[in-house]
Amino acid sequence: MEWPGSLDEYEKLVNRINTPRVVIDNAVCATATLVKVDSARKRGFLLEAIQVLTDLKLSINKAYMSSDGRWFMDVFHVTDQFGYKLTDESVISHIEKSLAATSPTRSGSFSDGLTALELTGTDRLGLLSEVFAVLSDLRCNVVEGKVWTHNGRIASLIAVDPIENSQTINIIETRLQNLLQGQNDIRSAKLAISSLMTVTHAERRLHQMMFEDRDYAHATSTISSGVDEADCESPPPSVSVQNWVDREYSIVNIQCRDRPKLLFDIVCTLTDMDYVVFHGTIDTVGDQARQEFYIRHADNTPISSEAERQRVIQCLQASIERRSSEGIRLELCMPDGHGLLSNVTRTFRENSLYISRADISTEGNIASNVFYVTDAAGRLADQKTIESVREKVGTSCLKVNYTHPSTCTNKPSFEKPSTYNKFSIGGLVSYLGLIRSCS
Residue 46 sits in a domain whose CATH number is 3.30.70.260
193 against 253, higher pLDDT: 253
For residue 31, tell me if it sits in a domain.
yes
Lowest-pLDDT choice from 29-33, 133-137, 380-384, 417-421: 417-421
Residue 253 has pLDDT above 80, yes or no: yes
CB distance 250 to 244 below 8 Å: yes
For residue 47, tell me if it sits in a domain.
yes
- Residue 277, number of CB atoms within 10 A of its CB: 21
Tell me the pLDDT tens digit for each residue of 51-92. 999 999 999 999 999 987 778 899 999 999 999 999 999 999
417 against 220, higher pLDDT: 220
Q: How many CA atoms lie within 13 A of 242 on its CB side?
A: 15
For residue 122, tell me if it sits in a domain.
no
For residue 77, tell me if it sits in a domain.
yes
Residue 6 structural domain: 1-107
Question: pLDDT at position 197, please?
Answer: 57
For residue 35, tell me if it sits in a domain.
yes
Question: pLDDT at position 11, please?
Answer: 55
For residue 398, tell me if it sits in a domain.
no
Distance separating alpha carbons of residues 59 and 326, to the nearest angstrom: 19
- What pTM did the predictor assign? 0.84
Distance separating alpha carbons of residues 89 and 22, to the nearest angstrom: 15
The helix (run of H) or strand (run of E) holding residue 347 is helix 340-350
The residue among 299, 347, 327, 334 whose CA lies nearest residue 405 is 327
For residue 101, tell me if it sits in a domain.
yes
Radius of gyration of the chain (CA): 22
Which DSSP string do the residues of 361-415 spell out, in sequence order?
EEETTEEEEEEEEEETTSSPPPHHHHHHHHHHH-TTTEEEETTS----SPPPPP-
For residue 25, tell me if it sits in a domain.
yes
Domain count of the chain?
1
CB distance 24 to 92 below 8 Å: yes
The residue among 320, 322, 253, 315 whose CA lies nearest residue 283 is 253
> What would the mean pLDDT of 211-240 be, rounded to a whole number?
67
Helix (H/G/I), strand (E/B), else coil: 159: strand
